[in-house]
Amino acid sequence: MTANLPRRAGIGLKPVHYHEILDHRPDIGWFEIHPENYLCDGGPPHRYLEAIAAHYPISFHGVGMSLGSAEGVCNTHLKAIRQLCDRYQPAQFSEHLAWSRNDSRFLNDLLPLPYTIESLDVVSSNIQQVQDTLQRQVFIENPSSYIDFKQSDYSEPEFLNRLARQTGCGLLLDINNIYVSACNNGFDPYRYIDSVDLACVGEIHLAGHRIESLPNGQKLRLDDHGSEICKPVWQLYKHANTKLAAHLPVLIEWDNNIPSLATLIAEAAEADRIQQEYCKT
């Protein structure tokens, strides 16, 4: 799987860092944006993004396509994303294996779906529509989940592998999401990684999460991207790198409690260091 992003770590682009990035041009591989934050014609967001995109590769990570919706992808939203892609020509475009739209109403969350024969057909059709419209390969991210569905025909890795084979999409492996889901639902995160067709993976995500205590005493891990990456996630990332055939782009996600730019760059440097040490090619 060939990724168009540099095969090193990048970070999410946040408005609070616009000036520092432009003033100091830090040594970072690339920046990721959520395209939904730029679905306007002009103004400061576009002025800063254009200036930064002149110096760094940019990746689009969509959060509103709702690829799991049985009613299909919203054509108005897809058209707006196509126009933004035409404007900035991002090096890579990714979306989530999730749904957030029903009966033409958008929900402000990325919700999981059962992995059934029927949902595989729905998601495959939606991915194909997005790829045909955007005229590019789309990378699909594994979700974080908090409860298991009562019935599924495939495990999550099987579902992702089948999506890649049926549509030609790439896979985005979110290591934190695997760890969060494994802790919440009681499966082995290492076996999960070993089950994914890593030849289809073109990008990796790393992030922090928080732990909530439920009234029954159980611990629930929430994928909030609001803290540093924890040690078990770094360990899982090391394991993934021992299995990869080549270095990949790696994103440090931090969307809440935004830290200093230096903190993000330090985590990106650690991701690069581990990849250099554990992935030999």
Measured CA to CA, the distance from residue 276 to residue 281 in angstroms comes to 8
Question: Is residue 238 over pLDDT 60?
Answer: yes
- Measuring CA to CA, which residue among 176, 210, 170, 169 is closest to residue 192? 176
- Residue 212, Cβ density class (10 Å: 0-12 exposed, 13-18 middle, ≥19 buried): exposed
Measured CA to CA, the distance from residue 237 to residue 193 in angstroms comes to 10
The set of long-range contacts for 14-17, using a CB threshold of 8 Å and a minimum separation of 24, is: 14/258, 15/45, 15/48, 16/258, 17/261, 17/264
Tell me the whole-structure pTM to 2 decimals: 0.95
**Per-residue pLDDT, 104:** 79
- Measuring CA to CA, which residue among 124, 122, 101 is closest to residue 111? 101
SS3 204: strand
pLDDT tens figures, 85-128: 999 999 999 999 999 988 878 888 899 999 999 999 999 999 99
pLDDT tens figures, 171-221: 999 999 999 999 999 999 999 999 999 999 999 999 999 999 999 988 999
Question: Is residue 2 over pLDDT 80?
Answer: no
> What letters, b where the CB count within 10 A reaches 16 and e where it falls short, cover 57-69?
bbbbbbbbbbbbb
Measured CA to CA, the distance from residue 204 to residue 174 in angstroms comes to 6
- Residue 141, Cβ density class (10 Å: 0-12 exposed, 13-18 middle, ≥19 buried): buried
Say if strands 58-61 and 31-33 run parallel, antiparallel, or are unpaired: parallel
**Per-residue pLDDT, 196:** 98
Amino acid at position 110, single letter: L
Confidence of residue 1 (pLDDT cuts 50, 70, 90): very low
- Measuring CA to CA, which residue among 161, 171, 182 is closest to residue 235? 182
SS3 280: coil
Looking at every residue in the chain, the average pLDDT score rounds to 95
Measured CA to CA, the distance from residue 66 to residue 101 in angstroms comes to 6
Measured CA to CA, the distance from residue 153 to residue 143 in angstroms comes to 17
